[in-house]
Chain A
Amino acid sequence: QQQVKQSPQSLIVQKGGISIINCAYENTAFDYFPWYQQFPGKGPALLIAIRPDVSEKKEGRFTISFNKSAKQFSLHIMDSQPGDSATYFCAASRISGGGADGLTFGKGTHLIIQP
């Protein structure tokens, strides 16, 4: 059972455009939603994260939008640049309860920004 569904699998955006990647989750106990960015030949790196007590978080050109009722969250990259070309993973986990729950990752989106 896939607990975090990510779409699209691949995405091509023109330089300066807006890149949007969507994720949906099933487990209502999830309460932490990070996005990781991975460049070719590198390990993933934390990009931005959100807790469900807010509907939006912005860091520079990157914004997470969160819809708790729909169990969906998305990453928006404004003014997309060729340097943003990478694979993006959404993830989810449960922080509350103090357990050892790990991150459940989506399958990833390969983003290409065309110059």
Chain B
Amino acid sequence: EAQVTQNPRYLITVTGKKLTVTCSQNMNHEYMSWYRQDPGLGLRQIYYSMNVEVTDKGDVPEGYKVSRKEKRNFPLILESPSPNQTSLYFCASSYSTGTSRYEQYFGPGTRLTVT
């Protein structure tokens, strides 16, 4: 089954404690992206990757890091989480050319709470 998986699905942590949210896709997609979803603000892009070892900032990158060492994986790293990073996070993937790049497949989401 073609899918994007994220782990963990739910996470409660404390300010300053480093954490990683994993994302993996099995569709051989080149393009991967992280979004955060907040009430009243919709979906905002954090980082994206056009392919292995190629990453770039989205609209709200502050406080986040990413890496793309393998095509299928795109982890999101919060080195020193703060309460304003409490949010619902989505990983997405797609092919990288033409309209296919915008036919993004989203993971099920990770609900993060930082206290």
**Which residues of A approach B to under 8 Å, CB–CB?**
6, 9, 32, 34, 41-46, 49, 51, 89, 91, 93, 95, 100, 102-103, 105-108
Chain A residue contacts of B84, Cβ below 8 A: none
Question: Are A105 and B102 interface neighbours, CB within 8 A?
Answer: no
Q: Which of A6, A42, A103, A107 contacts B45 (CB 8 A)?
A: A103
B74 within 8 A of partner (CB) = no
Q: What range describes how many residues of B lie at the interface? A: 20 to 34
**Which residues of B approach A to under 8 Å, CB–CB?**
4, 33, 40-45, 48, 50, 56, 58-59, 90, 92, 98-99, 101-109
> CA separation between A6 and B44, bound complex, in Å?
14
Question: Are A107 and B102 interface neighbours, CB within 8 A?
Answer: no
* Distance to closest chain A CB from B114 (angstroms): 21
